[in-house]
Structure formats: C-alpha cells, structure tokens
Structure 1
Amino acid sequence: MGSFLRKQPSFLLILLILHLGAREARALSSDGEALLAFKKAVTTSDGIFLNWREQDVDPCNWKGVGCDSHTKRVVYLILANHKLVGPIPPEIGRLNQLQALSLQGNSLYGSLPPELGNCTKLQQLYLQGNYLSGHIPSEFGDLVELGTLDLSSNTLSGSIPPSLDKLAKLTSFFIGNRGLCGKQINSVCKDALQSPSNGPLPPSADDFINRRNGKNSTRLVISAVATVGALLLVALMCFWGCFLYKNFGKKDIHGFRVELCGGSSIVMFHGDLPYSTKEILKKLETMDDENIIGVGGFGTVYKLAMDDGNVFALKRIMKTNEGLGQFFDRELEILGSVKHRYLVNLRGYCNSPSSKLLIYDYLPGGNLDEVLHEKSEQLDWDARINIILGAAKGLAYLHHDCSPRIIHRDIKSSNILLDGNFEARVSDFGLAKLLEDDKSHITTIVAGTFGYLAPEYMQSGRATEKTDVYSFGVLLLEILSGKRPTDASFIEKGLNIVGWLNFLVGENREREIVDPYCEGVQIETLDALLSLAKQCVSSLPEERPTMHRVVQMLESDVITPCPSDFYDSE
C-alpha cells in the first residue's frame, strides 16, 4: 500500500482536496457567523440561543431566525423580550439581506452600531425598551427600504440625523429619550440656537456630519470605553455567579458544620448580640438548607433562631478574594456602626474559613418585592405612602448623615424589608462596594437589577448619590403601579416603567400608572408623588433632587405636616 501511494502522489492530493471541500461544504455560512458574534456579545438571555450551534451549515433553523427558502440568507431576526443583556455588535451589519430586526424589550446597552446602515433591505427595526445610549448614527439614512424605526424608551441623546428625513417610507418613534433633539420631535437642539448673526448659508449634510463628528469625537471615545466597561460588568458578573456555583454551591447541602470547623470567630458590634461566641457558633453548627429564607445577589439568607426566642437573619457571603480580609472587616465595622430607624441593623458577623456570615435583625414582614408582586393581600394607599417615606428616610440618612457617606448602589424592592407593621427598612447598604473590584469598578449587581439602574451608571459603572436617587424614583413608580420595572405589560409596548411614565406624561394621562387594585388612593398625594418620581428619574443627574430634599418634599406635599423624625436613630 505504501509503495502504491509513493507511485501515486496525486492520490493524496485528491484526498486532501476532497477533505477540504467537504469541510468547506459543512462550514457555517457568513450570516451564521455574524449571528454567533451577536450571541457572543450577549452575556445573559433566557436560553433562546441553546440551538444556535457552530457546526450547523446555516442558521435557518435557529430560534428567532428566518431565512429565504432559496438563498438561505437571513431575512429576519426576532429576539424581542428574551432578557438579552449586552451590546449590539457591529457584526450585525453583515446581515445585508435582513428585512426585519426585532430586539425590543431586552436590556441591551451601549451605542447603536453604524454598521446597521449596511442592511439596506431592512424594512422594520424595533429597538425600543432597552438601555441603548449615545447618538443615532447618520448611516441609518442609508436604509432606503426602512418603513418602521422604533427607538423609544432608551437613553439616546444628541440630534436626530437629518439623513433620516430622506427616507420616504419611514415612520419613526423616539419617545422616552429625553436627551434627543431635532425637528422630527419638535425639539430645538442647543447647537441650532448658536447660529452666527450674519446669517451664512446653511451647511450641507456632509458639512453637518463632519462638524458634528469633530465636536463629538471625545464623546464617542468615552462612549466606546463605557460600552467596554459595561460589557465587562455583565461578563464578570456572570463569571462570578458561575464560579460560586461551581466551587461552593454543592457545599450548601452540608450546612455550616464543615465551614465552622477550625478557625471561626464572632465579631459583635457595640454589644448588639447578647450571646457568647460559643452560644452563637453552637447554634450555627445546627443550621442547614431548611433554614434558608431567601437567596439574593449577594448571597444566601438563613433564619437564625436563638434559644431565648430571638430571631436573626444570617446572610452568607462567599470569600472569592483572598486579599479581601482586612478591608472587608474594616468596612463591616463601619456598616455595623450605622444605626437608624429605617435601616436594617447589622449586629455582627461570623468570620469562617470560606465565608462571611453577616448577622442582621430579622424582619417578619419579608421584602417589598414579595409583598407587592407575590402575595394576594394588596397594600392600601396609606401603607404604600408609609413605605415610600421610610425607604426615603433610610436612604437619606446613608447619603447625608453617615461619615463617610454611604452610596447604596442597589436600591430595589427586594432590598426594602418590612417589619410586622409594614414599616420599611433599607437593607444591603454598603455590600455592593464591599464586593467591588477597585480597579475595574465591577460589582455583583445581578441582571435583574437593570430596571432600576440610572443611564449614566449603565454607561460608566460609577455610582453616585444621584444614581441612588434614580433607583429610588423607579422604586417609587413600582410602589405606585404595583408592577415591576420590566413588567410584561410594559415590555409588550416596548417600554420599561420609566418609559411608560414618560409616554403617559406626553399624553397627559400619568395618573393611569397607579395600581387599579390599590384602595384609598388620594388624587392630591398621587399628583405630588408623580411629580417627585419624574424629578428622580430624570435622565440628567443634575436635575434629580437629593434624598434629603426628597424627604422634605414627601413630608410637605404628601404627608400631613408634622415634626420630622429624619434624624431619629432609635
């Protein structure tokens, strides 16, 4: 056989050609490669991509994808409301036969890719109800077949490009993007007001685009960096979750006995725990999964019942950073010193070999998310106002009366706990900073929190008091409406709760946002709360009030005037 092959070198060449030809025949099409690039950019979804396989010849059988039956080219991509988190990659522009693109109702962020202008056969483009930012690319003017463009309820800014005006078939929607301007929405851009007095000839379209690009080059660089940062935020967040599950998740079934053996200690703050270290450790050793009362973005929560009848909540945070120890302990001591009527009290912590076990007061009323959305009994109007005021006072105390000041970074309904009388307490304050990477500003905030995040935080990852105020405004709307920020009723309209409010304001129907099942609604206080919510969720941070001012407005405009217990720390 060997002599035969030596005499017939062309035989090997033929085999090689046939092999390469077979591989080429099985290779994924260019449209499929573009879609895999989109899949790679999206870091979180509801599983829609499970059958998107690289070994397929074409993507025509993939979920959400439609192809021409003859050419096998992708003609539509329908991925609306699939919990997608990530940027839209430039590779989407390779789908040059695409006729319909529907990505509304997700958590896509970053800039609109100018490469979409290459999809010149596109007829329908639905991107509403995401967190897209930056300018609308002028290249969209090349989409000569475009009939519908919906960019509403994002955080886009700048002037709407004049190139869209030449699209004769176009019906466009921009509502909910307060930073946009242009004649298409009857909003004069600031640059247009600064024309020379001698009235020179109006610039051509090319001059306009070149001048705008020159002015905004720095902004584009910042936007690009912000997009990369936001991508890293979500990617590292998902990696962190997978890492914990892989390395620690299976250990939960063994309870705390394995953890506490050899080298555990209890740290108590100011005598807040009237028990000896031995008593607490003994009780911890008997705990297992039956004691779990909740699972959140920062760890598992257990119910710790002592022999004298006192009950505490135990939050278990895994140690994922060996160098975290001293910094973590120092920050926990600061958090343990914070005492206020509307904050959940941190009593102490157990320092075990593999985790920190934070000991908090136990609140029997559960969290606000459960009460609003999962329990049959509805909160009446007075109860909702009381919860709003309590949450505002707790957050205001963190911002204005703590030294150093504390930015919460993760205000949402599941972090508002309720006692037996439905008095609100703000929980988990300071934990986002504790679990943050100092160099990259990557936090453990989970994807479900995106509905509460301020636009500038989505872009930069930098938290301020004003990003907390925005989240409080979303929380306020959630309490008034009885709906989560990304409730299906909003998503169906291509909106989130802030976009829905903006839409209703434009229609002069903002009162319709109130929960129809809420009893005892008072119109005067509803109007005052809606006015406050609109200020808190302004797209411009400088237009949002401070939390101290929020408390003042609640007490003067909503609550019957009475002496403030803002500084009550009992």
Structure 2
Amino acid sequence: MSVFAWRKRTRGKGKRGTVENSESMEREMENGTGPKRFPYIELVQATNNFAEEGKLGEGGFGGVYKGFLSDSDQFVAVKKISRRSVQGKKAYISEVKIISRLRHKNLVQLLGWCHENGDLLLVYEFMANSSLDFHLFGGRTMIPWAVRYNITLGLASALLYLHEESGQYVVHRDIKSSNIMLDSDFNAKLGDFGLARLVDEKLGVRTTGVAGTWGYMAPEYVRTGKATKGTDVFSFGVVALEIACGRRSTQPEYEGPHVPLVALVWESYGNERLCDVADK
C-alpha cells in the first residue's frame, strides 16, 4: 500500500510539474515579444469548433485544423494536443519554449498558443501547399527539379540556422518529409519542434533517449541515444534522397517494401547505375 501511495504521489507531482512548467513559461512569454496567447474562444470560432472538415492532418499528439482569424484577416493552422497524451504535453512545452525564440524564413512561424480549459493549442502560419511528402508520394503532379533543388536548399538553410546561426544549439530530432511544409510559392519551411532539444555546448551532448521516425534516424543515434548536429544532418540526407528519388525512405516501391532507400541508393551507386533510382 505504501509503495502504491508513493507512486501515486510521484505521478501527481509529475503532472503538476508539467502544468506548472508550462504556466511559468507562458507567463514569461507574455512579457516578451513574438508569439502571443490566444483566447480559447477565439480559436474555437476560427476553426468552427475544430470541425472535422477543416482537419489538415493527425499527428502523434493530436490533430491539426485550418482556421481563420478575422481580426488579422489570415488563415492559420491550429494544433490541438490530445488531453490524454503525456508526451504531447511535453512536446507542447518544448515547442513553445524553443520555436518561440527562433526566426528564420525556412521555419514554420509559431504565432501563438493557448493553455485553457485543459486544452493545449499551438497556432502556426498556414502553409498553402501542405507538406513535402504530400507532393512527393501523393501521386499528383511531379515536382519540377528546380523546385526540388530550392526545397533542399531551404531545408539546409533552416538546419544551418538551428545548429550554428540562431545563437542557440538546437537539435530538431525529427526531420522528415512530412515535417517539411510548403508555402504558396513552394518554399520549404521546417516545422514540428515537439521533439527538439536545446543543447548546452559547454556541457556537451547528453543521452536523451531515442525519439524520432524510423527510416530517418542515424544509426549512431539509435545505438547511443545521443542527438547531435550530425544526426540531424543524416536525416536531412535521407530527405534529400526522397526528394531526388521520389520514394519513401523505408518503402521504395519497385524493390519491395523492406529495402531501405539509403541501402538501395548505395547499391545503385556501387553498380554505377545511380540514375536508375532517380525520379522519372
């Protein structure tokens, strides 16, 4: 009984700690510039009460809805974190804490947040052309090579900013084609910082535990749990191959679903048939 009571108190403290951390962080942000707190009722109205027909997608921590803010006359994307997701609450805190400090043309801009009525909401600029994977693997019109090149450059620019130019050392940890959004001109913008981590360069990289998406994670990251600039760069390389080949990292269609794209490209390179795997 005493062990059960201790565990219950510990879990309670953990939940209170998460809420207190988010509230403290939000109070700090309200005194600064950048993303703002949105009233819950405003986001309910903007999304037509989170109508299913306005749903843009579903992530691991909740749904994303299209909304319209009449006061600022702009469309937005509203991420609604599931109340049942403990990891979602941690991702909410991580995302607000990290991305609110960042400003770059190739990062999805966080416009604001809402922590009200037990709901956790994040408000982003709306991306008119959805995500990169939607266009690469959706069976629609082929993306021109010049556009693919610019998308790759945009993603590289975002990573350089996160790793070396932002004044912080930010490791994203979940770079993949579905997290690369495209604006109305098909400019790439990296989003979803729920797994991102700030790294203190004086203390060095610490083991964080493996988090991310299979097929995009560097082998050394899976082995050690240490996320670095290099592990982000590996993920960038996988996305670059997807862009060039038009195939998913873990499901190259013509070779069968169990041949990873990286292995397929290496094999083609060794056989001097690299052009065979390029998108046609």
Which sits farther off after the overlay, 362-371 or 265-274?
265-274
In 2, the alpha carbon distance for the partners of 1:412 and 1:391 equals 10
* Superposition pairs of residues 177-216 of structure 1, within 5 angstroms: none
**Please, which of 118, 135, 142 is the counterpart of residue 378 of structure 1?**
142
Superposition deviation, residue 413 in structure 1: 0.5
In 2, the alpha carbon distance for the partners of 1:298 and 1:444 equals 14
**Please, which of 261, 264, 270 is the counterpart of residue 500 of structure 1?**
264
Tell me what 2:56 maps to.
293
Superposition deviation, residue 492 in structure 1: 2.6
Superposition deviation, residue 285 in structure 1: 7.2
Return 5+ residue gaps in structure 1 as ranges.
1-264, 517-570
Tell me what 1:404 maps to.
168
490 and 424 in structure 1: CA distance in 2 versus 1, 3 angstrom threshold: same
* Superposition pairs of residues 166-177 of structure 1, within 5 angstroms: none
8 Å CA contact 1:342–1:426 kept in 2: the answer is yes
Tell me what 1:313 maps to.
77
8 Å CA contact 1:273–1:347 kept in 2: the answer is yes
Superposition deviation, residue 282 in structure 1: 4.9
Tell me what 1:304 maps to.
67
8 Å CA contact 1:490–1:500 kept in 2: the answer is no
In 1, the alpha carbon distance for the partners of 2:235 and 2:45 equals 40
Return 5+ residue gaps in structure 2 as ranges.
1-25, 198-205
**Comparing both chains, which one has the higher relative contact order based on Cα–Cα distances under 8 Å and sequence gaps of 6 or more?**
2
- The amino acid that maps onto 1:404 is Q
Deviation track 1:270-327 (CA, whole Å, cap 9, x = no partner) reads 25569777644654673332321111234311111122531111112235449x68x9
In 1, the alpha carbon distance for the partners of 2:209 and 2:118 equals 22
**Aligned-partner SS, 1:505:** helix
Superposition deviation, residue 460 in structure 1: 2.3
Superposition deviation, residue 496 in structure 1: 1.1
8 Å CA contact 1:433–1:443 kept in 2: the answer is no
Tell me what 1:392 maps to.
156
**Aligned-partner SS, 1:450:** coil
443 and 460 in structure 1: CA distance in 2 versus 1, 3 angstrom threshold: closer
* Superposition pairs of residues 279-358 of structure 1, within 5 angstroms: 279-280=42-43, 282-283=45-46, 286-308=49-71, 309-319=73-83, 320-321=85-86, 329=93, 332-358=96-122
- The amino acid that maps onto 2:126 is Y
8 Å CA contact 1:485–1:496 kept in 2: the answer is yes
Tell me what 1:120 maps to.
none
8 Å CA contact 1:363–1:420 kept in 2: the answer is yes
Superposition deviation, residue 442 in structure 1: 4.4
Alignment TM-score, normalising by the size of structure 1 = 0.39
- The amino acid that maps onto 1:407 is V
Superposition deviation, residue 513 in structure 1: 2.0
Tell me what 2:183 maps to.
419
Deviation track 1:425-479 (CA, whole Å, cap 9, x = no partner) reads 01113x1147xxxx9844663xxx3111111122222211111111110100100
- The amino acid that maps onto 2:49 is T
306 and 494 in structure 1: CA distance in 2 versus 1, 3 angstrom threshold: closer
Deviation track 1:545-568 (CA, whole Å, cap 9, x = no partner) reads xxxxxxxxxxxxxxxxxxxxxxxx
Q: Look at both structures and tell me which one has the larger radius of gyration over its CA atoms.
A: 1
**Aligned-partner SS, 2:232:** helix
In 1, the alpha carbon distance for the partners of 2:273 and 2:162 equals 34
8 Å CA contact 2:252–2:259 kept in 1: the answer is no
Asked if residue 367 in structure 1 is aligned to residue 131 in structure 2, the reply is: yes
8 Å CA contact 1:318–1:354 kept in 2: the answer is no
Deviation track 1:139-174 (CA, whole Å, cap 9, x = no partner) reads xxxxxxxxxxxxxxxxxxxxxxxxxxxxxxxxxxxx
Superposition deviation, residue 405 in structure 1: 1.2
Tell me what 2:232 maps to.
468
In 2, the alpha carbon distance for the partners of 1:294 and 1:428 equals 13
Alignment TM-score, normalising by the size of structure 2 = 0.75
- The amino acid that maps onto 2:59 is G
Superposition deviation, residue 354 in structure 1: 3.3
Deviation track 1:2-41 (CA, whole Å, cap 9, x = no partner) reads xxxxxxxxxxxxxxxxxxxxxxxxxxxxxxxxxxxxxxxx
In 2, the alpha carbon distance for the partners of 1:276 and 1:299 equals 19
**Please, which of 179, 194, 214 is the counterpart of residue 450 of structure 1?**
214
Query: Cα RMSD (Å) of the superposition?
Result: 3.1
Superposition deviation, residue 386 in structure 1: 0.6
- The amino acid that maps onto 1:495 is V
Superposition deviation, residue 414 in structure 1: 0.4
330 and 409 in structure 1: CA distance in 2 versus 1, 3 angstrom threshold: closer
Q: What is the number of equivalent residue pairs in this alignment?
A: 242
- The amino acid that maps onto 1:475 is V
8 Å CA contact 1:490–1:497 kept in 2: the answer is no
